[in-house]
Copies of this chain bind each other. A is one copy, B any other.
Amino acid sequence: MTFHQTIISSRLNVNVDAFHVSREQVTPDCPVNWSVRKVRLHGGRQEGVDLIVVDNGRMKLRIVATRGMNILDAECGDVRLGWDSPVTEVVHPNWIEPDARGGIGWLEGFNEYVARCGLEWFGAPCEDTHHHAPGEAPANNLTLHGKISNLPASEVEVLVQQEAPYRITIRGLVREESLFGPKFALGTEISTVPGESSFRVSDTITNRGSGEEEFCLLYHVNHGTPLLEDGARIVAAATRVTPMTERATEGGVENYAKIGPPTVGYSEQNYMLDLCTDDEGWTRVMLQNAKADRGVSLSWRKAALPCFTIWKNTQPESDGYVTGLEPGTNYPYPRPSERKAGRVMKLASGASHETSIEIAIQPDADAVSATTEDIAALQGDAETTYDSAPPA
């Protein structure tokens, strides 16, 4: 038995103004008080944005239906997953001009905990003349991080299992599609179990077009205070750590995992990691605080998201003190570079690519310690090579 309610649907011509469902109505036997709400935002650049707020009784998730089903933030006790971007509001995509200031307009709406980049391209802005589709082939101006974060959900459903473990799922569909362009459908299921301190993001990208198409997806998972602080660190099992730029070599590539305090004039440092996996192909990384008594981990199947990027951007808090852990299908270099490196994936007509990331909070020192051990086990005896310079 599953409770099922459609709250946004272009197919059914529905977008409910407000919605609320909770334990009493749907799962009276569930021992944990949970609820799901839909809230419409008002004022400034957030006018008309739809949020889905999931409270699983222990942890509160806010999903932005209007911004590609990104996850604004999560709160669990004194742990906050999210960051304080200088972008104050949850910006409706209609305010975003991707071309602004040399192709970085995407940044004017960027403030989520989980922001997807893709699906036709992501990475730094550039020109790209490659074009698969029939018809004219104009020079292709790729703007920062693609379109998917600035597209609205066409369909949003709430599903709740009516027997243990009473999993709550927010299912969304986002279309990135054009004549003579991509025909991608992004199906997402963001789910959590009442009383737990973790959630899962399971996505399926489908190529609805008739031909093989390049695609890409990067999860820009962004951490700020209080987890991020001077002395916080990233825990990962990697066979190789490579700086993306010369800037990332400053301070020593082998110190990539150490988080410093908010620093005036800090310029971002980015690293590419070749992660170790378990026998089933899963990998895991963690960000822990300075005392190692709070943390958050991301786990995923490496084959689905083989490229892991760390974005250290420990600027002053007013500019956005943040560090991103970013599993992706490729690295965030401009698409032509990624294509040349053979990292841009393709989907045959009708084919799908599936990803799933489990995001779990470590609420105490024991949990941090246990996760550290799990990650150490992934590393095993494997050595880590630290490249002293970015790729040529």
Contacts and interface: CB of A to CB of B under 8 A. Distances in A.
Interface of A: 8-15, 39, 41-48, 85-89, 93-95, 97-104, 107-108, 110-111, 124-125, 133-136, 138-141, 151-155, 175, 177-181, 183, 208-211, 264-268, 313, 315-316, 318-320, 349
3 smallest CB-CB distances across A and B, nearest first, come from A102-B138, A10-B43, A44-B154
Given A42-B10, A102-B141, A177 B265 contact: no
A45 B95 contact: no
A11 B168 CA distance: 29
Nearest to A103: B138
A278 B88 CA distance: 41
Given A99-B97, A154-B88, A10 B180 contact: no
Q: Does more than half of chain A's interface fall in helix, strand or loop, or is it mixed?
A: loop
How many chain copies does the complex carry? 3
Given A95-B93, A210-B319, A315-B134, A152 B104 contact: no
A108 B103 CA distance: 19
A125 B138 contact: yes
Given A43-B14, A179-B86, A267-B135, A141 B101 contact: yes
Contacts of A101: 138, 140-141, 178, 181
Contact of A13 (B9, B42, B181, B316): B42
Contact of A45 (B46, B139, B152): B152
27 contacts: A8-B44, A10-B43, A10-B44, A10-B46, A10-B88, A10-B89, A11-B43, A43-B154, A44-B153, A45-B151, A45-B154, A86-B179, A86-B183, A86-B209, A87-B177, A88-B175, A94-B95, A97-B97, A101-B138, A101-B141, A102-B140, A107-B178, A107-B179, A108-B177, A134-B268, A135-B313, A211-B264
B152 A210 contact: no
A26 to B, nearest CB: 24
A99 B85 CA distance: 26
Given A15-B43, A44-B10, A210-B318, A268 B104 contact: no
A243 to B, nearest CB: 15
Contacts of A93: 95
Q: Which of A9, A111, A136, A267 counts the most chain B CB atoms within 10 A? A: A136
Nearest to A110: B179
B178 A210 contact: no
Contacts of A178: 86-87, 101, 104, 107-108
A45 B177 CA distance: 11
A133 B97 CA distance: 19
A12 B267 CA distance: 34
A29 B179 CA distance: 46
A179 B97 CA distance: 14
Nearest to A50: B47
A139 B141 CA distance: 13
A180 B202 CA distance: 30
Given A8-B43, A208-B318, 15 more contacts: A12-B43, A43-B155, A45-B154, A45-B175, A47-B48, A94-B94, A102-B140, A107-B178, A110-B179, A134-B268, A135-B267, A135-B313, A179-B320, A209-B319, A210-B316
Nearest to A10: B43
Contacts of A133: 319
Nearest to A267: B134
A47 B87 CA distance: 24
A188 B303 CA distance: 53
A141 B39 CA distance: 36
